[in-house]
Amino acid sequence: MEQIPQILNDLQSNVDFYGIVFIMFSALVVGSGLMTVLSKKMMHAAVGLLFTLFGIAGLYALLAADFIAITQVMVYIGGILTLIIFGVMLTSRVTDIERKTDAFASVSNTAGVAIGIACAAFLSYVFVSTKWLEIPVATIPDGTITQIGTLLMTNYFAAFIVAAVLLLIAFIGAALIARRKN
């Protein structure tokens, strides 16, 4: 019992704050991602996706990519996920996802596990064989929102307007499809 404070003290000196926060966000992303994929109910999968997207936004914020983190929250969580949840709630009949029990499902599950293991092996190889570049903390910018905003309103203004018009056309098309009666 007396060794526990010493163990905690040693652990505290070896692990920094950013490492703990990274582990927490990573666990959130992996756990909620598994909940999204393995859930049999669509609303449970949508809630899992919500936490997955929040965890990814937290990882972006941890990497000092504040613009991407805010965009992740506003676009994906605020827009896309809300659209998915309303789509699930407004459909006339929402049924649970049922797993197929025929021979095809068994083969596809086996193929999925094999592909997952192959991807994990490939990513492990890439991780081990890559010579990682370490950047000092002093070179990380304080914020990127001002720089990106300036670039969007000067050098990339035409691309910004084209993207805005395409998004407007997509919204109008979605509204027309939603109003169309069967």
**Three-state SS letters, 87-124:** HHHHCCCCCCCCCCCCHHHHHHHHHHHHHHHHHHHHHH
Torsion 33-37-39-44 (CA) sign: positive
| Closest by CA position to 73, among listed 88, 89, 52 | 52
Q: Is the pTM of this model over 0.85?
A: no
Together in a domain, 10 and 77: yes
Q: What's the pLDDT band for 179 if we cut at 50, 70, 90? A: confident
CA distances from 175 to 166, 170, 171, 172 (A): 14, 9, 6, 5
13 in any annotated domain: yes
Share of the chain above pLDDT 90, in %: 23
Contact 25, 58 (CB under 8 A): yes
- Orientation angle between helical segments 145-153 and 157-179, nearest 10 degrees: 90
Q: Where residue 74 sits, what CATH number does that domain have?
A: 1.20.120.1200
111 in any annotated domain: no
49 in any annotated domain: yes
Which DSSP string corresponds to 139-163? GS-S-SHHHHHHHHHTTTHHHHHHH
pLDDT value at 39 more than 50: yes
123 in any annotated domain: no
Other CB atoms within 10 Å distance of the CB of residue 26: 14
pLDDT value at 5 more than 80: no
Mapped onto helix, strand or coil, the DSSP state of residue 65 is coil
Together in a domain, 23 and 87: yes
118: tokens are 């192959």
What pLDDT score does 27 carry? 95
Tallying the residues shown for the chain, one arrives at: 182
Question: How many domains in the chain?
Answer: 2
39 in any annotated domain: yes
Q: What's the pLDDT band for 164 if we cut at 50, 70, 90? A: confident
Together in a domain, 153 and 66: no
33 in any annotated domain: yes
Together in a domain, 87 and 151: no
Together in a domain, 4 and 83: yes
Residue of 8 and 48 predicted with greater confidence: 48
pLDDT in tens, 113-138: 899 999 999 999 998 998 888 766 66
Mean pLDDT (the chain, rounded): 80
pLDDT in tens, 69-118: 988 888 888 888 887 877 777 775 545 445 445 656 677 778 888 999 99
Together in a domain, 71 and 160: no
Question: How many whole angstroms separate alpha carbon 156 and alpha carbon 151?
Answer: 6
Owning domain of residue 22? 1-94
129 in any annotated domain: no
Together in a domain, 25 and 88: yes
54 in any annotated domain: yes
Question: How many whole angstroms separate alpha carbon 60 and alpha carbon 58?
Answer: 5
